[in-house]
Structure 1
């Protein structure tokens, strides 16, 4: 196993000091290889040392022009700091340079969602969902983008798919409940709000939804 792979293994196990040691050693032995700087930058993003991380990504980019993973790392850096417009630009550059993975489409979609642009986010989240059909978070985020784009029937189907992957997904149950409210089926909405609360008793949105639906059913107009 080479130094980068050893560092990634340590990083995955949250063994930060050991990961730092391996990435440092790789950089010392291969100072012109941008991959070492990219992985060190990713590690620094992971531990929220954003200014240092940016220096490592910039160093990597000074060593090569076609480095989609460096732009992906920069995108994550800006996303973590809430700078979603800048994150969008970096993720788009990563895709432009050939990075064709579910994670980059997920992050690009979520960056646009955080800028309240669900219809722009939709194709990226759809692409991510197609590339990784078993990833629950990706499938749920795609459902949210459909809901925020006011595509209620499609959102309902997507949240049902999330439930098939994980029937204890409280947020999916809550959002199915919301789609039933749009369909003017409050009894079915209440069922899913109750399911969300059974899974997660402190689910505030489901609690509020349950209360409002019960008031509606107790006092029909």
Structure 2
């Protein structure tokens, strides 16, 4: 009985520490509980989530597996293992765990979201759509669900529908810079270049170091044949992220041409020095 009371105190203390973000300390408390009572699946699961917060995903997986071994019907452990696998980039392996979670608890909006994200990362956008739709049904104010729903629609070529979805995202969360950037990309695909530039400007107001927005703005100016402006924003994008932005520019005919001109100009300056 005394063991049980001590375990309850350690468990409660661990949960308080977890809630405060003191994950190492929380794990130490959970370990004390498990040492006394190794069949407490909730503790194994909370321990797994604390390890996830510390990005110790392999250890987290082992902890969730212990929880599942004790109680195969505990949905949070299945979900936790799926999250850890996804964090390791193992999206295909994560999917069965999200699916098992949803069989046990079909109202778990986080599991729906994570299943959709895994499918999107596997470029299975058509399958991802109903997952994000379900999240939106359960939590209509989830701006990340609207954003990822928009991205899946975009990659399927449904630009007007993608625009409507991202409008919801920026209405709910006006400070989400990457949603404004995504909105601009959709508008540029719809050949609404000036509207796209306004959207990129909003992204840059929120995050001046958003190299993706700078690159996209450069592309819009290149499409408008505004070479000086395009060169300016392309230079700024490459200064922030040289490898990525050069690769993107080389994949785009207009910006590749502009990039070659920039390189020639740089070589000329270096020769003069």
* Fold in common (TM above 0.5): yes
**Separation in 1 of the partners of 2:110 and 2:219?**
37
State the match for 1:120 in structure 2: 127
**Separation in 2 of the partners of 1:108 and 1:5?**
31
| 1:56 counterpart = 2:69 | no
Conservation of the 8 A alpha-carbon contact between 1:68 and 1:99 = no
> Cα RMSD between the aligned structures?
2.1
State the match for 1:193 in structure 2: 200
Bigger relative contact order (CA 8 A; separation at least 6): 1
Structure with max Cα Rg: 2
Q: Give me the TM-score of the superposition, normalised by structure 2.
A: 0.74
> Which of 198, 202, 205 is the aligned partner of 2:212?
205
> Which of 105, 108, 112 is the aligned partner of 1:105?
112
Instruction: State the shift of 1:106 in Å.
Output: 0.9
Change (3 A) 1:180 1:17: closer
Conservation of the 8 A alpha-carbon contact between 2:193 and 2:220 = yes
Instruction: State the shift of 1:115 in Å.
Output: 0.6
| 1:164 counterpart = 2:181 | no
Deviations 1:147-192 (CA, angstroms, capped at 9, x unpaired):
2222211211111111111222221211211221222211111111
Give ranges in structure 1 of 5+ residues lacking alignment: none
**Secondary structure of the corresponding residue to residue 224 of structure 2:** helix
**Secondary structure of the corresponding residue to residue 206 of structure 1:** helix
State the match for 2:99 in structure 1: 92
Give ranges in structure 2 of 5+ residues lacking alignment: 1-7, 227-273
State the match for 1:33 in structure 2: 40
**Secondary structure of the corresponding residue to residue 65 of structure 2:** helix
Instruction: State the shift of 1:5 in Å.
Output: 4.9
State the match for 2:221 in structure 1: 214
Instruction: State the shift of 1:197 in Å.
Output: 1.6
**Separation in 1 of the partners of 2:28 and 2:106?**
28
**Separation in 1 of the partners of 2:185 and 2:192?**
10
Instruction: State the shift of 1:74 in Å.
Output: 0.7
Structure 1 stretches of at least 4 aligned residues deviating more than 3 Å after TM superposition: 1-6
